C-alpha cells in the first residue's frame, strides 16, 4: 500500500502524507509530545534543506518520505517551542541545526 495521497488537509492523524497543490507542500502528522501534530513542508524548504531538485507535483511526497525522521524531529522541536498547529516548514524558516 502506498503512503502517497492527495487527501484534504482535514485528514485524520493516522493517514498518509498528502500533496497540497495550492501550496506545493506535503501535509502530514508528526509525532510530538502530547500526540500527533499537523504539519506541512514546502517543496522549497525540502530543496533548501536537502539540496535536491524536486518535482513541483505530488512526487514531492517521495522527498518527504525519504527524510521523514529529520522532518518530524524539526516539527516536534518547533512544537515544543510553542508554535501553534499546523506547523509550517517553509523556506523562510531557519534550517535544521
What's the structural domain count of the chain? Answer: 1
Q: Which residue matches cell numbers 527524510?
A: 67
Percent of the chain whose predicted confidence (pLDDT) is above 90: 52
Tell me if 48 is assigned to some domain.
Answer: yes
Q: What is the pLDDT of residue 52?
A: 72
Residue 4 domain flag? no
Domain span including residue 54: 18-89
**Report field, pTM of the whole predicted structure over 0.85:** no
Concatenated DSSP letters for 26-58? EEEEEEETTEEEEEEEEHHHHHHHH-----SST
Q: How confident is the model at residue 70 (pLDDT cuts 50, 70, 90)?
A: very high
Inside any domain, residue 94: no
Amino acid at each position: 500500500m502506498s503512503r502517497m495521497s492527495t487527501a484534504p488537509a482535514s485528514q485524520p492523524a493516522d493517514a498518509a502524507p498528502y500533496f497540497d497543490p495550492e501550496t506545493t507542500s506535503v501535509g502530514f502528522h508528526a509525532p510530538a509530545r502530547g500526540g500527533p501534530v499537523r504539519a506541512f513542508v514546502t517543496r522549497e524548504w525540502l530543496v533548501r534543506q536537502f539540496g535536491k531538485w524536486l518535482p513541483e507535483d505530488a512526487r514531492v511526497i517521495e522527498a518527504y518520505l525519504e527524510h521523514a525522521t529529520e522532518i518530524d524531529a524539526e516539527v516536534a522541536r518547533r512544537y515544543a517551542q510553542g508554535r501553534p498547529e499546523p506547523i509550517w516548514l517553509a523556506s523562510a524558516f531557519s534550517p535544521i541545526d
